[in-house]
Structure formats: structure tokens, C-alpha cells
Amino acid sequence: MRTFLIALTASTLLASASLLAGCGDDESGAKGATDGGTTADGTGTPSAKGSLPSTIKAPNGWPSAEERRFAPDREPSPFSAQQIAAGCGPESKRIYRFVMSKQEVSYKRWTFRDQTAEGCTFVQADCDKDGVVTDEPKASKTTWKQLQSHAAWPAAQTSASEARLEVPAGAYECMHYEVSRKGPQGIGEDKYWFAWDLPGPPIRMERRVGGELMVTMTLMQVEGVAAK
């Protein structure tokens, strides 16, 4: 999903490492995200289960792990290209809230247009909390396969579990990925919650750098998404 991540990095996260700030009771509105990286049932007790993406128990009819694996050293992506295409149709709209480490808050509206069997045009626009656009939208072309491949992280750096997460857009059963990385700013960790029923970008993302939670992204509203 690098198209999504590039858009976030360039226009939202500015000079920070690139994504995500504030969990648990932060201003992003997500409930259940704990410092341990799992979600909780509202009491602080982790509710995640499972250990590796390849062992997550997918619903009946879900593409197999091997069908979603791009290379031997990569963990399977959460969704197939076909599932992403179904979840990012012309009527779909998602409003995200971003909170920086200094409590700088912004909102983005994500839509998808010009869908074909191969891909679409991804459109990001600054907006207010109600989704009303406040600036000129930015569009970029991508393929469904590219979007799928960008959520295929190195197996040696990735672990995952099943979890339930409540965000302002609703409460969802999720695939929860934790990805460790090392870069110019030090050792970091990214966390992603992908809702089974909302194929496409995650409903929640967090980025830590050197142990400090830098940015969060949380789904506030969603419309027109075909489940699975």
C-alpha cells in the first residue's frame, strides 16, 4: 500500500519518519490500542490471539496465505488484489485523522476513481472532521497488485495476531501487524490494524521511532465499502 504511505509521508507527516502518535486514550479516538502493541477489550487486557500472519485463522473462502505471498521472505499481505479492488470502489470514501507527537491534528479524505480491472486513481484531500474538503485534492494512479504488494513486509521483521479494535468508524475484528525496522532515526516499529470487513488501507496505524510514539492514523468515517 505504498501509494497510501507515500501520500501520508509527503503531505501529512512532513519530516517525520513517515507514519503515525498517541494510543489508548489519545486524541485520535481509537480504543483498545495498548503500549504492548495488541488491542484490548476496554479494560486494558490484551485480546489479541495468534502469533504469525501465516497462522491467522481466515474466514472461509479467504485467499490462502500462499496466494497472498509475494516472495519467500515476505509475510502474506492481508488482502488479495481482488479484495482491495472490491473494497475501494467508486462509492467508497474514508476519512482519517492524523495526530502528530506534538498533538498536531489533521484530517484526510481518501477516495478511489477510474477503476479498471488493473487499478484505479487514488485521491487524497485535506478536509475537516466531517469530511468537507478544504484544499485541492491530489491524485495518483496505481494498480491493485501494487497496493497489495506494499503490505507484504519482510517475514523476519513482522509478526501478527488477530485483534478487535474500536475506532470512531466502528468496532472491527482485525489482522494486527507489527513491523520492526531500522533507519537513520534509529530502531522503530510500525503497527497496522486491517479490518477483515474493510479491504484496503488499515483502520489504524502507529509509528514509533526510538521507542517514542510519533504519529497515529485512525479511521473516523467510512462509506461505500463492500465487505470482503
pLDDT over 90 (residue 7): no
Using DSSP, state whether 4 is helix, strand or coil: helix
Point out which residues pair with 162 in neighbouring strands: 49, 175
pLDDT value for 186:
72
| Residue 104 in grid coordinates | 498536531
pLDDT over 60 (residue 26): no
Tally of residues, the chain: 228
CATH number of 2-223: 2.40.360
pLDDT over 90 (residue 171): yes
Please give the mean pLDDT across all residues of the chain: 78
Instruction: Determine phi and psi for 219, rounding to 5 degrees.
Output: -75, 120
pLDDT higher for 195 or 102?
195
**Ranges assigned E (strand) in the chain:** 93-100, 105-113, 119-127, 138-143, 158-167, 170-183, 186-195, 204-209, 212-223
Q: Of 177, 180, 152, 1, which is closest to residue 72 (Cα–Cα)?
A: 152
Each residue's pLDDT tens digit, 52-101: 445 577 788 899 888 888 888 999 999 999 999 999 999 999 999 999 87
Dihedral sign of CA atoms 148, 151, 154, 160 in order: negative
pLDDT value for 183:
74
Structural domain boundaries in the chain: 2-223
- Check residue 58 and report its DSSP letter: P
pLDDT value for 56:
73
pLDDT over 80 (residue 24): no
pLDDT over 60 (residue 135): yes
